[in-house]
Amino acid sequence: MAAITLQQIPVAGLDIGALTAAAAGGDTVQVTANETGGWDVAPAVFIFRNGDAASKTVTIAGAAPVTVAAGAIGIFPLKTGYGGSNVAITYSAVVSCTVGAFQLP
């Protein structure tokens, strides 16, 4: 598994064109807790870009798998309730797939 760095999105925005290749053994993202009064104040998302001609399945932290169609982009919430732990992400295949993790301002 490869560790993906959680990138901070500035208020002005961020070009996410340069995503990294998905790792064949899966990836991890360390999600930090950003809560105030039980509210998520800086939510994080995981982006999965499927550039292949076949659908791919993405599973995050043991949740139900989600199918991302060929040529599509999947956006998944990364709950800060994981409290700074590494969130495991697995894929059915990684051919032509890129990923990234981003924290909203």
Distance, CA of 45 to CA of 5 (rounded, Å): 12
Residue 24 lies in domain: 2-103
Domain containing residue 35: CATH number: 2.60.120
Return the structure tokens found at 14.
Answer: 């961020």
Tally of domains within the chain = 1
How crowded is the C-beta side of 71, counted as CA atoms within 13 Å?
A: 1
Q: Is the pLDDT assigned to residue 26 strictly greater than 70? A: yes
Residue 64: alpha-carbon gap to chain centroid:
15
Instruction: Give SS3 for 82.
Output: helix
At residue 74, the pLDDT reads 97
Instruction: Give SS3 for 81.
Output: helix
Distance, CA of 53 to CA of 71 (rounded, Å): 7
Q: Is the pLDDT assigned to residue 37 strictly greater than 80? A: no
pLDDT digits (tens, 9 = 90+) for 50-101: 999 999 999 998 789 999 999 999 999 887 655 567 889 999 999 999 999 9
